[in-house]
Structure formats: C-alpha cells, structure tokens
Structure 1
Amino acid sequence: MVSENLKIREMEDDEKPRVLRIARETIPFFYYLFTRYNLYSSDPIILVALKDDEIVGASIFDTIEQGPRKIGQIDYIFVDSSVQGEGVGSRLFERTEEFLISLDVDEIFSDVEGYNSPSWKIHEQRGYSRLRLSEQIKLWRYRTPLIWLLTFYFLALGHNLLWKGLTIEKPDRRTNFFEPIAIVLIIAMIGTLGINGFSTFSLWVLAILLLNILVYEGSSWITGKKLGYKPKFRSWENGITISLIIGFFGGFIPVYGSTYLSEKGFNHHKNPEVMGKMTGMSILAGLLLTTGFMIASQLTNIQILGTAAIISLIFYIFQSILIFAPFGVLKGRQLYRWSPKIWFIFMAAGIALTTILFIQ
C-alpha cells in the first residue's frame, strides 16, 4: 500500500548522488552505468519519490522528436529496497506518464527486461503492450534504427519494448504465429554465415543451430508445462540485430530470445525455484547435446560433428556460464539465483568441455 506521506516532484541538482546510490543498489551495474551517463551527460527529466522527506525512488524519462511525432521514452524507474512492495514504483510510473502527456507526446514506450514481472504488470495495467519488431518497423519505418540508437535499446539484451499510443493506434499485426519462427530462422542463418564465412553456406550448420535452439527452449518449455505453468517464447529483436552485425564480421553469438512464464500475477523474481528448474533442465539438455557431439566427433571421421561440437559449446557457454549483465538475461543467471551450487557444477562442466576441445 502506498504511504500517505509519499511526495513526488522533479529532482534538484544536488540530489543526483542520492538517486545514483539507489540506482547502484537496485539495478545491475551495466545498466547503472547508463543511468549515470543519463544524469551527467544528457538532460533527461527526473522525478523523485520522497517518504518522510527522504528520496526513496526515481524515474528517468525523456522525449524524442521524430518527424511530426513526439515520442515519450521511460528510461528507468527504480525504488529503494526498503519501500519495495509499497506501491512507490506504481506512483512514480503514474506521475511519469502524466508528465509526458502534459508534454503532448503522441506515444510512450519503455524497454522492460523479460523477467521483470512487476514492471510488466504495471505497464499492462495501464494499457501498454509489447511492440514487436514488425510493428516497430510499421510504426517508425526508417527511423527505427535511430530510435534504438538514441535510447540504447540495441544494447538492452533480454528487454522488450512496451508501448502505448495516445494519438495513434498500434499497427495491425498478422504474424502472431510465424514471426518468432521467422526470427529464429534468420538468426540461425546469420549464425551459419558467421561460422562458415560468406563464401560458403551449410545447411548442416543451419540444422545444428536450429537443433540447439530447439533443445534449450524446448526443454525449458516442457519443464514449465510439467510444473503447471504456461511457458511462452519471446524473441529479442535487439539480440538478433547484434548477431547480424557480428555475423557480418564472421562471428556468432546465440542471443535470440528466451522462454518466459506468461501467467498473470506470476513473478519471476519471487519464484526462483520454478525458473531454476526450467533453466536447469534446459542447460542439462544443452550439456548432454554438447557432450554427445564431442564424443561422436572423436569416434568418427565426420567433419560436421566437430563443427556441431563447437557450435553447441558456444551455446552452452552463453546459456550457462555468462550470468552478469548484459548476459544476465540468459538462463545461467536464473539457475544461479535458485542454486549457486548447481550453477557452479554446470560452469565447471563447461570449463572442462572447453579445455578438452582445445587440447584436441
């Protein structure tokens, strides 16, 4: 319940250090750096929430002029841990939206991390919905890359855009089923280019990439269903774009999306056991797949099996070992939150497999 003595007003210059302290304590360090940059290197609008005259939360937002339209962008809303659960974040969000409306914006969007269930809930309660890549292109057209650049969205792995139109309507979307599949196929094809180079294209490599995606997301989805939930795959358009850029230079990183639980009221952060079991089974399946390819490549002279072992190991390293931002949105972080010991076992297995591969 929101405290009656909560006040919200614009931040004063000498209050920046306190706002930054709250940000440092409540959001990942990688995103804290962007918050610090916004406060000192740009000129955003900042509202602060005060309880008993002490700052306990803040909202950072701005407007973007794009052609004839003005867009409102909510950068960050964070609340001190001592008052989390009291509705401070909801009040800050409400006042932020009112402030942007007073500036005559035509639309408002915010990029929200997929596991941040409370933030998704607040947005959805106020009429926001996910703006998928096809909808972004229909809405912003050629300005889409510029908006990503201005808002640093291209670096926000694991985040999706939640959007609300004020003077414009959301574009029609007729690709509900096929868009995620098409995006996964695109990232897989880019991966084959990164691994083989542009001079060759291997359907075998494409098949191996798709197999890895199906193993990781399929295992996670099946486990979620077994636990009685409704899992749902969400693609990351920014991750796919980063993979495309890296693919042009002959590289490859598997940051395509993840499987989430879509029940109303489900809080990913408050249910680490559920997410830990889902991601743990997913990582275990990936470990078995990688180990299988490595053993098969040693027992036979089939060259593609060696390539399959390398690709699968790259998937495994990203999904299990990398747990800090910007890769903290991958499966390893969720497993670590539930059981650091189990995560350590999987990490050790990944290091062992990498060592074996290099020795060979």
Structure 2
Amino acid sequence: MARIVMKFGGTSVADLDRLRNVAARVQREVEAGNEVAVVVSAMSGTTNQLVGWCQGLSSLHDAREYDIVVSTGEQITAGLLAIALQTLGIEARSWAGWQIPIRTDGAHGKARIEAIEGQELIRRMGLGQVAVVTGFQGLGPDNRITTLGRGGSDTSAVALAAALGADRCDIYTDVDGVYTTDPRIVPRARKLARISYEEMLELASVGAKVLQTRSVELAMKEQVRVQVLSSFQDLPGTLVVDEDEIVEKEIVSGIAYSRDEAKLTVRGVPDRPGVAAAVFGKLAAENVNVDMIVQNISEEGMTDMTFTVGETDLPRAQAALSAVQPEIGYAELLADINVAKISVVGVGMRSHAGIASTMFKALADKGINIQVISTSEIKVSILIASEYTELAVRSLHTAYGLDAS
C-alpha cells in the first residue's frame, strides 16, 4: 500500500466526461489499496474568465478580492470531482486550501506556501476517504484566501505530498511525460523514463512547460518523487527523481526553447564603477527579472550592455531605463523582441568537455548567428533570431544524438 498525491490540470478536468475519467483513475488507485489525495486545477478556461472579470471592472483591483474571485475555479472542480467519486461508491470529500489549512505568506496573487497542517487529511485517508484538494490556493496570515500564481496547482500538489509523507506525486497533464524536446518540433524526440530534479528545474526555467518551476524546486528540496503522466492515455510517464536514482546519465537530456524573450541593449554607457549597479538596480526595483547578460568595453572608455528580459516585462524595463538615462548618461537604448532562447541541459555536462563547441558548430553549419551566450554547470543557453527557432532545435537535437532510432 502506498500514499499517493494525484494532481490533475485544467485540460484534464475540462468537462464532466473528463471529470468522470479522472474519477475512474482515482478509483483504480483506491482499489489497488492506496491512500489517495487529489489536487485539482480549475476547469480549462475558467481562471482566464475569472481574471478577465476582475480586470474588466478595474485594472488596479484589490489583490485580496482578486484572490477571492479566481480561487473559486478550483473549488468548483473539487466539489464536482468529489461528487463523481461518490457516484462510483468511493468515500470522498472536497477540501479548500483554507480548510486544511495550507498556510502561505501574504503576497496575494503570488503567495508562497509556508506550512501545511495535514494531520486530519492523513487520519481520514487512513480510514479510506479520498481527499480532493483545491490547488493554487491557501490561507494568508490575515486569514484571507491567497493564490499561488499561474501554475500554482503543481506547487500545491508537491507541497501536499511532502506534508503527507507521500510515496509519490503523480502530475497528470495533456502530455505523457518529459521529452528530449518539444515533439511538435522534433517528431523523433524521445520520452525520458527518468530525469533528475536539477535537469527538470533547468528545463522548466528555460521554456519547457511540462512542470512549473516552483514545483520542481520544492520537489528537489523536499525529495518528493514526481511522476509526469497523461490524463488521456494509459502510458508509462517520466519520473523526476534525485540524480543518484539515475544509473545511466545522459550527457544531454533535453533541448528547451523560449520565444517569450526580449533583448535590450544599452549603448554608449560610460565605463565607470557603479554603472552596472545603476542599470540593474533600477530594473530590480521595478521587479524586472534579467536573464542573460553580456558587456563589451570599447577602446573609447564606453561600454555596451546587452541583456534579456521576459517579453511581457519589456515595457516596464524600457520605462525604467529611460528614467535613469540622465543619471547614467548612455547614448541609446535598443530593444528587439524577435529573439528566442535555446538551451541545452544535462547533468553529464559536469564531466564531459565539448558540449558548447558541439552546439556552436551545429548552429554555424546551419548559418545561425549566436547573439548572446550564458552557461551554468549543467546548461548552455544561447539567444538567436526567433525565425531560426525550429531549425536550431532540430539541429541540436540531432547533433547531441537525441533522435529516436
């Protein structure tokens, strides 16, 4: 007998037929003798509608009331799934985040989980009751409902699995596992049986949308074994585990891409101490996250700074840098949204040379120019013109021997 947390995303619970399908999957686990908690998202499209209503009334809405509104989507799903399970003769009960409670900080709209008091859930699961828990939400220090931000249900599921001491957290979604790259771009992409927390975290942070970044961070910290599975097909999934559980470590595990990038270049910046602090300090003050950074120093004592931000952050970044132009004294600010970030990820990079050179040669052979480069211990990322995204991904997938035979 095992204790399992099962999480189902919006497409998995999009209508009543899909809710019945979810109930049948939960029933199989219960009949196998497992203790089960289920975490659910809102039905597909519901959260967007609720957000739209808030924004339609006021673009500067009260974040506390916003959380009250958008959290209702998960409550609908939880109640409906509990009814579907009861119809199958399974004892089930829905739980809102505040009822458990899942305690968070007070950052409404992007709260972080601080503690889960799971003793009552554990007691009831031991008696055979299935707990159907609303994802994406919790209870703030002022006893008001909070939400965790987009993709927060993954984080809810992993946090609940840690609090319950679950043997595994199964994330059901519209893909059947983690692939070496996007199968829509590379039909010969391979599904990975296992991937390490670190690799999954890097892939999630650079564009792979299978798991939400915060959920992977939490799984790695709490050592929760996560499995990614399809809601619509009975196929083996991908286990996200500690690196020590993977015997055969791939040099490169995956190729990720992101088109949601913008490149900013600050030209003609006086080369003096404190200039970089002034540029990036202002961006930090405006909550603009900066990713890749390159700085070039010319012979005339001036420097150019090039860096990337999320495309949605570009207007704020431009406004922030325009505001400090008199203080910094730069000559020109250039922006480019026609860029894409391509990343090669693998724990095997720690012990193998030549990963970057393989990347650069493969792109050069296709006539693709590299604009910016950044690296970490298990990742190499480059910025290229967005029109070459698919060509670059296919070329690199082949160059690293990832194509399925």
Give the alignment's TM-score, normalised by structure 1.
0.28
Task: Determine which structure has more spread, i.e. the larger CA radius of gyration.
Answer: 2
- Structure with the larger strand share: 2
Give the alignment's TM-score, normalised by structure 2.
0.26
- Structure with the larger helix share: 1
